[in-house]
């Protein structure tokens, strides 16, 4: 399967590290005009430097995905520059440094913050991109959730599991709303991957016994990589996935 994205415009959120970085670099390597955003300035610059070194430069911008004005500005910039938006990858998310706590110790502010970056961000970017995709009668929206959204979270963070489940619901709803314009909306649900400082701390916290137990529960007996997640996104964005919408693909090594 020869997948190419030459002259396509691709927006990737949360591209400073981990999944988002791998996704942005993969699209750039396959010829796309990539606009990548995050709030982690130094790491985002590293993503841009890696793309430059590979000979596939990308545009990077500092954008808080919960800021509707900033989101709209990035989408408008991409359309002004290239005339279109072909693919939107809503990868920004995470636990924002929070750790698992008993329900009664979770503040409303912490609850809302996780929903903001994981759900509101996906909604705002889809809302901004959809009119352009409708005008084109084509488009791909791919949301990155988590195994936590279809099961339980290894972190024990209630808001994270709930937000990822909500994002999956948003995926299915938008698939039905936007389908008549040739826009597909799908979801990739990664298993545990050591992809950034947060997941690395989580991995170390399990200790040798806990790490082995986690591996034993994976059919392939190994952890995945950010590239494994990027590969799933590339498939959903490709022409070969043109009649697939509203779906959740678990990329977790088999559970």
Distance CA 86, CA 172 (A): 19
Distance CA 69, CA 45 (A): 22
Distance CA 138, CA 176 (A): 14
Q: Nearest CA to 242 among 87, 94, 118?
A: 87
206 flagged as catalytic? no
DSSP designation for 103:
G
Q: Among the options 160, 185, 230, 250, which is catalytic?
A: 160
Q: Any residues with CB less than 8 A from the CB of 22 and at least 6 apart, and which?
A: 225, 226, 227, 229, 230
Active site residues: 160
């Amino acid at each position: 399967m020869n997948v190419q994205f030459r002259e396509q415009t691709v927006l990737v959120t949360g591209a400073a590290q981990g999944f988002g970085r791998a996704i942005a670099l993969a699209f750039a390597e396959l010829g796309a005009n990539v606009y990548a955003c995050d709030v982690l300035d130094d790491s985002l610059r590293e993503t841009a430097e890696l793309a430059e070194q590979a000979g596939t430069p990308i545009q990077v911008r500092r954008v808080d995905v919960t800021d509707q004005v900033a989101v709209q500005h990035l989408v408008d910039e991409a359309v002004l520059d290239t005339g279109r938006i072909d693919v939107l990858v809503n990868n920004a998310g995470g636990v924002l440094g929070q750790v698992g706590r008993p329900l009664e110790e979770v503040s409303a502010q912490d609850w809302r913050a996780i929903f903001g970056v994981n759900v509101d961000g996906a909604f705002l970017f889809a809302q901004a991109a959809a009119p352009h995709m409708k005008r084109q009668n084509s488009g791909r929206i791919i949301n990155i959730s988590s195994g936590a959204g279809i099961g339980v979270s290894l972190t024990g963070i209630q808001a994270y599991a709930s937000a990822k489940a909500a994002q999956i619901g948003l995926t299915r709803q938008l698939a039905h709303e936007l389908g008549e314009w040739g826009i597909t909306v799908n979801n990739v649900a990664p298993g545990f991957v050591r992809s950034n400082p947060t997941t690395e701390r989580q991995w170390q916290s399990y200790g040798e016994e806990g790490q082995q137990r986690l591996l034993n529960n994976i059919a392939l007996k190994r952890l995945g990589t950010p590239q494994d997640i990027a590969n799933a996104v590339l498939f959903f964005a490709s022409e070969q996935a043109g009649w697939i919408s509203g779906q959740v693909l678990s990329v977790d090594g088999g559970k």
